[in-house]
Structure 1
Amino acid sequence: MNRTPTRRTALPLRLLWALAALLLLASACGSDDTTSSPAAAPATDAAASTEAPAATQAPTTTTEAAAPADEPEEAAADAEETEDTEPTPAEPEHRYQRIVSISPTGTEILFAIGAGDRVVAVDEFSYYPPEAPVTDLSGWQPNVEAIASYDPDLVVMGSDGDIQANLESLGIAVLPIDAPATFDEVYVQIAQFGDVTEQADEAAGVISEMSSEIAALIDAAPDASGLTYYHELTDGLYSVTSSTFIGQVYSLFGLHNIADPADSDGSSYGYPQLSDEYIVDADPDLIFLADTLCCGQNAETIAARPGWDLLSAVQNGRVVELNDDIVSRWGPRLVEFIAAISDAVVSIGAAS
């Protein structure tokens, strides 16, 4: 077959960012060189405003008779006892007590490391875990006034210099979170969240559990270096290349990405739009659908596409339906994405 890469017109940069935001991968759209580990939240005075208010003072008037002048020691003792029994202001257990998250991945990490009870509001897309306090805060266009209305002392959000500067000018600390380029960066981010929220031990536990489970899933899968795959982001046939974080997940198993030649010059920033002809010509061994929620795609709908019924993956039942949200986030549920790939590779090995 002719394997010359043919693809639709490269996605304009402005539309690329819009697509990426929809997929909750906005910060991954640039080249990997722009990806950075989260910066530590700056010290602010905001934490002071979260301290418990001073205890109400006892009233200065009383209907009881005053102590006789010839009993100063008894009066002094009564005064000392009253003073000793007054409650003292409680110190907060953690520095940040009111956290707002404008990042679905950040929200998942906060709850995973045990800081969820301090999260007072999250954006419209942060609907996992179920107990997350979802609001109408925009995940597309964060608004400083809307965020500040929740009186946060820490905001978790993707890098945005202007928004971050405005929040910090109000005395609100900001913890930036951007899409990672490697697995090490995933673990670095989780550890950073642990340090900033003073949940370092819990964060270390999450990292240890994730790394152990991922290693076991990779070890359980047979060598897949001879197999090809197609990862579908949307039913408009947008995909990912191996240069993206999602593509690197597949590379852990040795799988070859059919989309790589379609963006060899990087003009689509790792997110090329393919065509039916290109995919049919490439005939991938495995198809992974990450548009089951957004676009209602499944094994039956793609089999009805022109020419797709001839694909090996369709004929052999090797179409894997993924949860869009899990795939587009790199928090603790990343393990579930890797498990889906491992299961698919294991099933091919068992059938061969």
Structure 2
Amino acid sequence: MKAFPPGRIVCLTEETVETLYLLGEEDRIVGVSGYAVRPARVRREKPRVSAFTSADIPKILALEPDLVLTFSDLQADIAAALIRAGVAVMAYNQRDIAGILAMIRHLGAIVGAAARAEALAQRYEARLAAIAAQAGAGARPLVYFEEWDEPMIAGLGWVSELIGIAGGRDAFPALAAQKAARDRIVTSAQVIAARPDVILASWCGKKVRPEKIAARPGWAAIPAVRDGRIIEIKSPVILQPGPAALTDGLDAILAALA
């Protein structure tokens, strides 16, 4: 790292962008992912230098970053290229709520805002606890969360936890611990057998088509399909393991289960 705290940061996923803005440290950001949309002004203020699994390495290097923030094994090749070019890289890999909160605290410490990051994390913890306590008294509908449609991929770790906090039950809880998408593939027969009361879907940047889900062979008998409870949750608020999932993402789940 060229400087500490780093004055020039490139964020290749959206959750670190949102976290830095929430901490009041957005002036340190010199480049972002094309998927960064929170807060809305980020698209006017920061140059876009990457997608998710690809990045413009020369453009990143031209920004002379002190630090580049990446996420998961899917960005390993990007991270390797930057490391070979002499850039300091921090790769986060949070897959659950505890990991999200740890990321917030760690990133805050890196930029010299540890106290603000701790306060932010504690606010989220208090909110999650309050919602869980309120939701715990009611009925707990069975929820199938679909991250992708072809093949069908079931929910992520933090999504499964948020469903529980909102008062639901994940239809495939054992899969939530699996990090790789290929290990979370489910069959149509498995979903039919599970008989979820609610289907939540967020197709990773692609618009969800509830009518296509309802028209799948044999799905008419599923309670969620029969009762018209197929609900899209927008990708930016649920598929990024960061503040959005703990706020707007959780709120969207609560609304869907109400």
TM-score under structure 2 length normalisation: 0.81
Q: Which residue of 2 aligns with 1:194?
A: 108
The CA distance in 2 between the partners of 1:150 and 1:185, in whole Å, is 29
Report the alpha carbon displacement of residue 336 of structure 1 after superposing the two structures with TM.
1.9
Given that residues 132 and 167 in structure 2 are in contact (C-alpha distance below 8 angstroms), is that contact kept between their aligned partners in structure 1?
Answer: no
Alignment of 1:342 onto 2:250? no
Q: Which residue of 2 aligns with 1:146?
A: 59
Deviations 1:135-191 (A, max 9, x none): 243431345433111111221113636235325x3xx4333221234x222211101
Q: Which residue of 1 aligns with 2:213?
A: 302
The CA distance in 1 between the partners of 2:53 and 2:62, in whole Å, is 18
Alignment of 1:327 onto 2:238? yes
TM-score under structure 1 length normalisation: 0.61
Which SS does the other structure have where 2:11 is aligned?
strand
1:184/1:296 CA distance change after superposition, 3 Å: closer
Aligned-residue sequence identity (percent) comes to 21
Alignment of 1:290 onto 2:202? yes
Return the index of the structure with the highest Cα Rg. 1
CA RMSD of aligned residues (A): 3.1
Instruction: State the number of aligned residues.
Output: 249
Given that residues 9 and 66 in structure 2 are in contact (C-alpha distance below 8 angstroms), is that contact kept between their aligned partners in structure 1?
Answer: yes
The partner residue of 2:80 within 145, 162, 166 is: 162
Which SS does the other structure have where 1:156 is aligned?
strand
Structure 1 residues without counterparts, runs of 5 or longer: 1-43, 48-93, 348-352
Name the aligned partner's letter for residue 199 of structure 1: A
1:158-307, aligned counterparts within 5 Å?
158=71, 160=76, 162-163=80-81, 165-167=83-85, 169=86, 172-181=87-96, 183-223=97-137, 227-240=141-154, 244-252=157-165, 255-260=168-173, 271-291=183-203, 294-307=205-218
1:130/1:254 CA distance change after superposition, 3 Å: closer
Q: Decide which structure has greater strand share.
A: 2
Q: Decide which structure has greater helix share.
A: 2
The CA distance in 2 between the partners of 1:106 and 1:282, in whole Å, is 35
Structure 2 residues without counterparts, runs of 5 or longer: none
Structure with the larger RCO, 1 or 2 (CA within 8 Å, 6+ apart) = 1
Segment of structure 1 superposing worse, 280-289 or 316-325: 316-325
Report the alpha carbon displacement of residue 251 of structure 1 after superposing the two structures with TM.
3.5
Q: Which residue of 2 aligns with 1:111?
A: 21
Given that residues 230 and 259 in structure 1 are in contact (C-alpha distance below 8 angstroms), is that contact kept between their aligned partners in structure 2?
Answer: yes
1:81-120, aligned counterparts within 5 Å?
95-120=5-30
Report the alpha carbon displacement of residue 234 of structure 1 after superposing the two structures with TM.
1.5
Report the alpha carbon displacement of residue 267 of structure 1 after superposing the two structures with TM.
11
